[in-house]
Amino acid sequence: MLGKFQKSELRIEVKVKDTVFRDCLLDINQLKQWFFPLKFAQNTSEKLSQNDTFSFYLGLIEIKNKVDFIDQNCLRLILSGGIDGYQEWCWGDGWIQSRLEGVSVLPLNLGQTFNLLRLKSFASHSH
């Protein structure tokens, strides 16, 4: 993989319950509404589960995601393609945080900030 190793951790406060964040991240229909245009396999269920895969594009660069871990307040994705690394989402009542580490030519902190702000806006206005 070409690029450089980057890591970023962001945490924001949002006045919503932890279940709202869980639904925004794990419910595929909601995830598609606030995240980049996503591509799922035809047989994907309505909720993300362990080992599910999906991808999205940043211009011509495909970012592949595989669900590595899910629990009540955490989701970890293994990334490949345009980013080789992982992204972890953790949440609770009133806050959400994202940790992103990987090798890429893309500016990961900028993309992570953009996605976190989109999630904040979606969660705040949809619930």
Domains of the chain (ranges plus CATH)?
A: 4-126 (3.30.530.20)
CA distance 124 to 39: 25
Quote the pLDDT of residue 104: 96
Does 98 score more than 80 pLDDT? yes
Quote the pLDDT of residue 75: 98
Does 1 score more than 90 pLDDT? no
Quote the pLDDT of residue 116: 93
Quote the pLDDT of residue 127: 66
Rg (CA), the chain: 14
Task: Write down the pTM of the prediction.
Answer: 0.90
Quote the pLDDT of residue 21: 95
Quote the pLDDT of residue 45: 80
The predicted-structure confidence for 43-79, as pLDDT tens digits, reads as follows 568 899 999 998 888 878 899 999 999 999 999 999 9
Burial of 90 (0-12, 13-18, 19+ CB in 10 A): middle
Residue 85 vs residues 34, 63, 73, 105, 119: alpha-carbon distances, Å? 22, 11, 21, 13, 21
Quote the pLDDT of residue 43: 59
Q: What percent of the chain has pLDDT over 90?
A: 74
Tell me the mean pLDDT in the region 23-36: 90
Sheet holding 38-40, edge to edge: 4-13, 95-104, 84-92, 74-81, 61-71, 53-58, 38-40
Amino acid sitting at position 91: W
Quote the pLDDT of residue 38: 73
DSSP at 90: E
